[in-house]
Amino acid sequence: MHNTHHIYLIAAADSNFGIGKQGDLPWRLKKELAYFTRVTTTTEDPHKQHMVVMGQRTWESLPPSFRPLPHRKNVVLTDDASFTAEGAEVAHSLEEAYDTADDSIESIFIIGGGYTYKTTIDRPETDGVYLTHVEGDFGCDTFFPPIPEVFSVVTELGHETEGNISFTFKKYERP
């Protein structure tokens, strides 16, 4: 059962918690993408891997050459019974997605999009949030949900600047 796995949301959001614009990322930050890759691929146990769970639109927004995301188990959530995702598993509910995490999985990362974040952030099995705070307003049309007060332990994991954009990596956890 999935309750043995840590479950985290991971996202980057602007000052208004915007995460997407017209179905794409509102910025191109190499250091942020490298951080995302490092967090979602680096395991404590070298014999395990992490699992990433995303909605169908997030999957479809990934360039075909980047899907599935390498060195991670990819699971795509969809209501579409006929949907297939080459190189990934398809699940029709969050429970179904979590149930695909066996002993080879170390942690589960919810990687988007907006609806998937909104439906997972308040769940009791969600352990925390990795959120990159990108300074500025990028005119987004998709937003990250408010972080629940239960995630009261906040750790700053680093700060970067790329071009004229500054961003801070933070982790929010339960006490």
Cite the active site residues: 25, 32
Could you tell me where the beta strands, DSSP code E, fall in the chain? 6-13, 18-20, 49-55, 72-77, 89-91, 105-110, 128-134, 142-143, 153-162, 165-173
Residue 32: strand, helix, or coil? helix
**What would the two tokens of residue 52 be?**
């990433």
Alpha helices in the chain (DSSP H): 30-41, 56-61, 94-99, 114-120
φ/ψ bin of 71: left (φ > 0), alpha (ψ from -120 to 50), beta (otherwise): left
Decide if 163 contacts 41 (C-beta within 8 A).
no
Half-sphere exposure (Cβ direction) of 123: Cα atoms closer than 13 Å: 19
